[in-house]
Amino acid sequence: MATNQAAETALLKAAEIIEEQLDGEIDRLDKMGTDDIEKLREQRLKAMKDKAKKQQELVVKGHGTYREMPSEKDFFQEVKDTEFVLIHFFRPSTMRCDIVDKHLAILAAKHIETKFLKVNVEKFPFLVERLKIRVLPTIVPFVKGSVGEYLIGFELLGNRDDFSTDVMEWRLGVLGVIEYSGNLLEPPTDKKPASRIQIKPKTIRNRDPNSSDSDEYN
């Protein structure tokens, strides 16, 4: 009984505090004169213009689209002076890389703050070795020039091939490579039934050249 009373008292106190805060905010808005409202409007307009200008500058630097890097010499230039960079290491014959491409193309247009790139491992042997890429697909995030935690395969995406773009977006938010507006502590609900298709990674040295499954480096 005492515990229930304490809980009710705490809830009432919290409600009173919230009510006081709302009353204070309403009172502040009521007391604002025409000049104050105009100043607030100008501040918000300036913030919107600044954001639009920043996005335009990022688009000029290659943000807003999902594209393939042509050569290894372009790597440092692409990552240099860019706060958020995401690189998908892929192989054209790997089916799961195609799945990743579909989601990243959508998210690249949504998250202008991040540069979305892809790298064909067959053309970037030095970078693959330096970053120790062993399994495809692998997504490598760069935040302020530093390498973050890799997203390898689909295990952290629900361990299924038909995961949603929302799930991919959430996971990239957890990695800190995009500005995610949702709850990072809980993944979005995926209403689709889990795929029954189980694709096991294959060793590249022994893999079937016609296979479209995930690849694993040795």
pLDDT tens digit string along 22-81? 777 777 777 777 777 777 777 777 777 777 777 777 777 889 999 999 999 899 889 988
Q: Are residues 8 and 30 in the same domain?
A: yes
Question: 27 lies in which domain range?
Answer: 2-59
Q: Are residues 85 and 165 in the same domain?
A: yes
pTM: 0.71
Q: How big is the chain by its Cα radius of gyration, in Å?
A: 24
Q: Are residues 28 and 113 in the same domain?
A: no
Burial of 204 (0-12, 13-18, 19+ CB in 10 A): middle
pLDDT exceeds 80 at position 190: no
Q: Are residues 16 and 100 in the same domain?
A: no
Q: Are residues 161 and 208 in the same domain?
A: yes
Q: Are residues 174 and 103 in the same domain?
A: yes
Instruction: Collect all residues with Cβ–Cβ distance below 8 Å to 103 and sequence separation of at least 6.
Output: 165, 168
Q: Are residues 187 and 91 in the same domain?
A: yes
How do beta strands 138-143 and 146-147 pair? antiparallel
Burial of 217 (0-12, 13-18, 19+ CB in 10 A): middle
CA distance 128 to 38: 55
If one counts the domains in the chain, the total is 2
Q: For residue 147, which of 202, 73, 89, 190 has the smallest C-alpha distance?
A: 89
The CATH number covering residue 94 comes to 3.40.30.10
Q: Are residues 94 and 83 in the same domain?
A: yes
CA distance 158 to 171: 10
Q: Are residues 117 and 168 in the same domain?
A: yes
Q: Are residues 50 and 71 in the same domain?
A: no
Q: Are residues 78 and 27 in the same domain?
A: no
Q: Are residues 200 and 112 in the same domain?
A: yes
CA distance 57 to 206: 46
The region that residue 144 occupies, defined by phi over 0 for left and psi between -120 and 50 for alpha, beta otherwise, is: left
- Residues 131-154 have pLDDT tens digits of 999 999 999 999 998 999 999 999
